[in-house]
Amino acid sequence: MSGAQAEATAGAPPGAAANAKPRRALVTGASGFVGAALTRRLLADGWEVHLLLRASSAADALPPQAHVHRLDGSTLQLLDIMRAAAPDVVFHLASLFLAAHKPEDVERLVNANLLFGTQLVEAMAACGVKKLVNTGTSWEHYEDHPYNPVCLYAATKAAFTALLHFYTEVHQLRVVTLKLFDTYGAGDTRPKVLNLLKRVANEGTSLGMSPGGQLVDLVYIDDVLDAFVLAAGQLDTQANAIEEYGVSSGKPLPLKDIAALYARVSGKPLNIEWGGRPYREREVMVPWHSYRSVPGWQPKVALAEGLALFHNT
């Protein structure tokens, strides 16, 4: 039994825990690294988990205990799925990430990050589902501004967060938006910088990178999941209908230092040509730092420990 379950059943009559109805969650984005990990965490904590997946999304690696609902893209079908799942909390993690976009990407970005989210909360409103944990990005705050998206991806995430205010005002939704920094963990195969370092370490190849002075804020997946669970728990008690929090390690490091630590942890040298490519346009040199953290949350996994877990899987 998790700590949250123990707290919920403390003082209950004998047998109440065994007869308690499990909490129900609807998760979007479960085919991604963070969404799949959250699915496993919720199941381990005793939730009944429903997954909302596109018809093309693979589900083979997802736990068989989860209930999979396939979406054809229509709002009316999404209403049917919402009624069938009847979730206590919706966890919205589905998104399309592009660090830089081309003109032909605009429709996909808007559909994935704005249209789909709007369909989701419209279905929630129509079905009387009130609680949403939404996922944003620290990239909405370039140079620590309240609003200054790094790229169009971040702009679409910010636009959806703004749109949520309508649903909290008119349909009484309760929302927490978690703005993630760089997430990583064991089993993470996404084409991100740590997997580049892992490949260089394991293959002994070389890699041209930027000068490496940008600060990178890495948060281990287990700590990220703790933030999602805590966010869901506070939806009943938060003072405001919508709250936004950053999920940060609080200890960003220069990319060069992260590479040096990875080399020490892996025991393998890294052949990196620093300055082999320029910084990209609107490179985040210093991450957003004027965020608030989820009440009661703090990261537990130190970077060296997390990098070792990542490298050894």
| pLDDT tens digits, one per residue of 221-241 | 999 999 999 999 999 899 999
Q: Beta partners for 274?
A: 209
**The predicted structure's pLDDT at residue 114:** 97
Structure tokens at 207: 């890699």
- Cα separation of 185 and 37, whole Å? 10
Mean pLDDT of 266-287: 96
pLDDT tens digits, residue range 131-187?
A: 999 999 999 999 999 999 999 999 999 999 999 999 999 999 999 999 999 999 999
When comparing pLDDT for 153 and 72, which is higher?
Answer: 153
Distance CA 185, CA 218 (A): 10
Residue 16 pLDDT greater than 50, yes or no: no
Residue 15 predicted with pLDDT over 90: no
Residue 55 has pLDDT above 90, yes or no: no
Cross-strand partners of 273: 208
Q: How far apart are CA 53 and CA 56, in angstroms?
A: 8
pLDDT over 70 for what percent of the chain? 94
Domains of the chain: 22-184+218-250+288-299 (3.40.50.720)
Residue 204 has pLDDT above 80, yes or no: yes
**β-bridge partners, 272:** 207
Q: What are 135's strand-pairing partners?
A: 178
Q: How many Cβ atoms from other residues are within 10 Å of residue 250's Cβ?
A: 13
Distance between start and end Cα atoms, the chain:
27
Q: Average of pLDDT values for 301-307?
A: 97
Give the model's pLDDT for residue 19: 59
The predicted structure's pLDDT at residue 58: 74
Across all residues in the chain, what is the average pLDDT? Answer: 93
Q: Which amino acid is at 280?
A: R
Within 8 A by CB and 6+ apart from 260, the residues are none
pLDDT on residue 2 = 38
| Residue 67 reports pLDDT greater than 90 | yes
Q: Which residues pair with 27 in a beta bridge?
A: 51, 91
Q: How far is CA 267 from the centre of its chain?
A: 30
Tokens of 237: 């008690």
Q: Where are the beta strands (DSSP E) in 181-241?
A: 182-184, 206-209, 215-216, 218-220
Find how far residue 200's CA is from the centre of its chain.
27
pLDDT greater than 70 at residue 256: yes
Distance CA 274, CA 119 (A): 44
Helix axis angle, 152-171 to 116-127, nearest 10°: 10
Identify the pLDDT of residue 12. 41
Strand (E) or helix (H) holding 87 = none
Q: Rounded mean pLDDT of 123-132?
A: 98
Cβ pair 66, 119 in contact under 8 A: no
Q: Please, which residues bridge with residue 251 across strands?
A: none
